[in-house]
Amino acid sequence: MPTRPCAPDSVRRTASRLRFLLNQPALLHASLHESKRTCGKPSCRCARGQLHRSHIIRVMDGGKQISVHVPATWESRVREWIERDQEIRSLLLEISTVYLRRLRTRKE
């Protein structure tokens, strides 16, 4: 039976971090956006320039981009999920780059 080539140290460290992130409770492939708006009431603070803030995420669902409101109490949680997704994608790209380099140099 042929021996399996050993992964470089950098790939092992990256894969370890990747496994850790994948074992976390949630991730979300979306973008978080803040909007500021007025409500239209003449006596509201937004009429004096202090606009209402709200957050939405934009995400692809069934081939269509949709927007979903994020309650203020969920903002930090959703931000964490999105950051986790971004880090996972970055780590996968790192691993892919290492193996592409190995393929180009024909190095086991």
- Is the per-residue pLDDT at 62 higher than 90? yes
Contact 9, 1 (CB under 8 A): no
**CA dihedral sign, ordered 71, 72, 74, 78:** positive
**CA dihedral sign, ordered 74, 49, 67, 93:** negative
pLDDT in tens, 16-55: 999 999 999 999 999 999 988 888 898 999 888 889 899 9
> Looking at residue 30, what DSSP letter applies?
-
- Is the per-residue pLDDT at 96 higher than 90? yes
List the structure tokens of 98: 């290492």
Q: How confident is the model at residue 108 (pLDDT cuts 50, 70, 90)?
A: low
Instruction: Give the start-to-end residue ranges of the domains of the chain.
Output: 35-70, 71-108
- pLDDT computed for residue 3 by the predictor: 52
Q: What is the pTM of this model?
A: 0.78
Triad 25, 69, 55: Cα angle to 5°: 90
